[in-house]
Amino acid sequence: MNERGKQVVVLCSGGQDSATCLRWAANRWEQVYTIAFDYGQRHRVELEAAASLAKLVGVVEHRVLPVSALAALAGNALTGSDMVRTETNARSGLPNTFVPGRNLIFLTLAAAWAYQLGTSDLVTGVCQTDYSGYPDCRESTIAALSQTLQAGMEYPFTIHTPLMHITKAQSIELIRQEGGLELLAHTHTCYNGAVPPCGECSACILRARGFSAAGIPDPLLERLGRV
Amino acid sequence: MNERGKQVVVLCSGGQDSATCLRWAANRWEQVYTIAFDYGQRHRVELEAAASLAKLVGVVEHRVLPVSALAALAGNALTGSDMVRTETNARSGLPNTFVPGRNLIFLTLAAAWAYQLGTSDLVTGVCQTDYSGYPDCRESTIAALSQTLQAGMEYPFTIHTPLMHITKAQSIELIRQEGGLELLAHTHTCYNGAVPPCGECSACILRARGFSAAGIPDPLLERLGRV
């Protein structure tokens, strides 16, 4: 850990996990850069949340990259017009919120920016524990991608995944320990882009279960006067 | 090779190498799909060339995906306003036409489309032999990416790279053997987007050397009345 540079790039979607990663990174690196991706997601309010989190933590630069290709490829629930609940895609068995390769694209673009900044450390909130069927969140995928980025850009990237093997409840405990619990009041999780959150989609359900298991009220619901 | 499916996705930039891959693939698969990427490149005429090649070969579908993130990250020679010649980037030592991770992004997006089509075979014209300093064209990178795509999408992708270890002259001989030499008359290579080609940029120089070594006149220059 002593060999790390002064700078880090954190993938910041505006959700609970990226808020935790952001606080974790800000406690360990001097200069934090955040990156978010605009791929036509319906829950665009998450981009506003990402910018708020970056400002609250005091990052050097927050960048929003347009990823029009994912919107073009989509035809899926995150960018389509149907309500998202918990159905799975009949063919793949994966959740209907799955955009194939989405995290691979995001991490590769973040790495390209990090390369330009001269930064080799990346932080992302992917999590294998309750990965909801997303194969691009697993440790084996991130390890393979790390090799690919190193080879493809000839650059010594390290992808840090502090949430990989912990539960949502442990993740909430982690951000509390890191002194960032209040950040969660400014996160966005709901797949349907609703404020207050819909409480019905799989993301809302997962979030609620996490706070319940951690025995901590959700700061977002507190801020919105919902608890 | 007997286990391959009926469909294949070919990355088709509109250049000489993708034309060769396209003919090669059309001789081996029943249904060919092509994909090109619009990332704000100055040599946009190559997108027209890609569409022409796809039409000439008779693909099932030719798709152009917008990749706005690369344009946003660029600040480099391919999307900037400076003339491209043969200078290298002072910091990286790589050619100033290098967009970090560009081929990783393109292949990952092509794989996402292939996943949606139910196709596991991808063909790309990357070449290690005269790779001009692009680390994302090397066999080790493609092997790592293949692992990443398989893990990240849980899908049995195979990335075919028929040009990986051959010279430009051998590549010209290959497309001739495959019966596609005339396709080269409809390709675009020049980094400066010039028609007729500028003859001065590194891409033009590499192309001219290839035809010279192969002892075959360039069908593009013949079509334009330049030989």
- pLDDT tens track for B91-107: 444 444 457 889 999 99
The residue in chain B having the minimum alpha-carbon distance to the alpha carbon of residue A138 is: B152
Interface-testing mutation among A39, A79, A94, A108, with chain B (most B C-beta atoms within 10 A): A108
Q: How would you class A156 by CB atoms within 10 Å of its CB: exposed for 0-12, middle for 13-18, buried for 19 or more?
A: exposed
Contact (CB, 8 A) for B125 and B21: yes
The residue among B200 and A2 whose pLDDT is bigger is: B200
Query: Beta-carbon neighbour count of residue B215 at 10 Å?
Result: 9
Q: Which pLDDT does position B71 carry in this prediction? A: 83
Cβ-based neighbour number of residue A221 at 10 Å: 18
A84 pLDDT more than 70: no
Q: Which of A38-47, A60-69, A105-114, A158-167 has the lowest mean pLDDT?
A: A38-47
- When pLDDT is cut at 50, 70 and 90, the band that residue B130 belongs to is low
Which tens digit of pLDDT belongs to each residue from A7-17? 999 999 999 99
% of chain A exceeding 70 in pLDDT: 85
SS3 A182: helix
Comparing CA positions, the residue from B185, B146, B139 lying closest to residue B163 is: B139
φ, ψ for residue A4, nearest 5 deg: -65, 155
Contact B152 A75 (CB under 8 A): no
Chain A residues with CB inside 8 Å of B115's CB?
Answer: 100-101
Mean pLDDT estimate for chain B: 87
Residue A7, strand partner residues = A31
pLDDT of residue B75: 60
Structure tokens at B212: 């010279």
The shortest C-alpha distance from A35 to chain B (Å) reads 12
Domains of chain B: 7-223 (3.40.50.620)
Adjacent-strand bridge partners of A206: none
**Model ipTM over 0.85:** yes
What confidence tens digit (pLDDT) does each residue in A102-125 have? 999 999 999 999 999 999 999 999
Report the C-alpha gap between A140 and B203 in whole angstroms.
Answer: 38
Joined tokens for residue A186: 């400014």
Cα gap A21→A209, rounded to integer Å: 20
CB contact at 8 A, B220 and B175: no
